[in-house]
Structure 1
């Protein structure tokens, strides 16, 4: 993106100011996020025992909901598996419930095959505005520290977390975890496969520019409006060829400039997905705790469920303050 207008004089231009319109409800919701009853719900306690199997094999003692509750409790409060086991044991004892607690070995084993069961909390009234982006998560181990401090070459890499966000509700509606060499555009179709609702608008940054992204979105929703900034060297197609949405973006940028194109298309909404990724790293963490890929997928899925549940408790409504003009003599 180009620099803003008046870049050399922007220190004299006052920054936009916002205030929280629902501060009382937002503050109460922030306190509720630390309540244990938010994560240990009556539904989880009623479905604690696993249903009996009708096929051959051993009988499970804990349901998938019990495993999910224990893992969610640990990730929400930054605990390891053994500490999660101890916290849950003390909470159940204080509640006077005689329920068995999954031990850390059971949690580690069941996390490899756990499948998310949480659904979206509400059906949208209108087509979705989907925001897509990716960020990096470090893998367990020393990695970069050894290379920077001692010059030792480390083969440890990092994982790439792909997120799809509902711009209206702020809820993460799809996610994927890949290795560091996977391109962003290749994960558009897997993310859209997790979304059953109609998509009205799709917004992403320039890394997703290209026919594969446009084709994947239009296969899902033929009437979707796609907002992706084309490359600086992009050229519109010849007049004889059918004009698509990307050609319209290229022509608009060439005619009015990139800044006006951003304002006319609402590209600034993409900042919400940046906020969601920052919220994930700030609350869940910048590093994956699990070591195997299946367990890392479970960790990410539960982390996304935690953020969505926190969003239900408290979401601020920011409104822009009116600018005050300086008094003149």
Structure 2
């Protein structure tokens, strides 16, 4: 068997590939000074529906640019867009900038979950929707939504629906000491909701709607925004709970100015991100009486030597308001229930 000749090699036979990164990478990034401002109105599997102010106003579909990295973009974010912002079918713009958020509504899956979830960015109001009957009100869940609003610096508003089925006065009295504005709606003859009591509170504002399933939240949105076509569902006659109909948050423009953000029905509202001692800041009249509290006092009903108890005894604060504040504080430490 013939032996194969041994080949000889030298440096001329070695092919050197141009090195990647041989040019130093610049840390400068495009300023995108001409990026069009827009509002994120919906998010769906990596695609973002954005409303661009005019002229002309239009709706475009976008993706996030690589330079944003893992920065989350949510409904309500104000962003800068480049690329194809024509809004034509098949076009795709790029989100290159997320403006600083003025407010953020957060929640966690439960009170033991350390991971915060941003529900909506930049809301001015939180409309907590609850039915007076069918399904029955869930005061603990309402309390926890109010805690999230107070903590985030968002103005809360309570909307009681289905007042034609039962008297809402007892429920309204529960929240009167908190000075939370309330509106009451009734069903119309065609099965909808009369939106007029709510509309005056929402004009020219960005308002996020929250509430558990079946309370009429999406029905109210449909009444306020013609053509919204948000899915609605009936209440289960066995469990007394509503069926989840909205599956994701969406922002909708109000005909007379402003935006409403409809969110999926919730069954719990985790508050792991809320520091109990920070809640007092949403109640200036009570906060003014805590100067002499011991260090670390969270002002609960069982807090030793709390200055709020001395202020109550001296008649400087309202007892019903203190009780309501402490009820909200206690809701931070227990799961929402029926």
For the superposition of Structure 1 and Structure 2, which TM-score range results when normalised by the shorter chain? under 0.3
Higher percent of residues as helix: 1
Higher RCO, 1 vs 2 (CA within 8 Å, ≥6 residues apart): 1
Instruction: State the TM-score, normalizing by the size of structure 1.
Output: 0.26
Tell me which structure has the larger Cα radius of gyration.
2
Instruction: State the TM-score, normalizing by the size of structure 2.
Output: 0.25
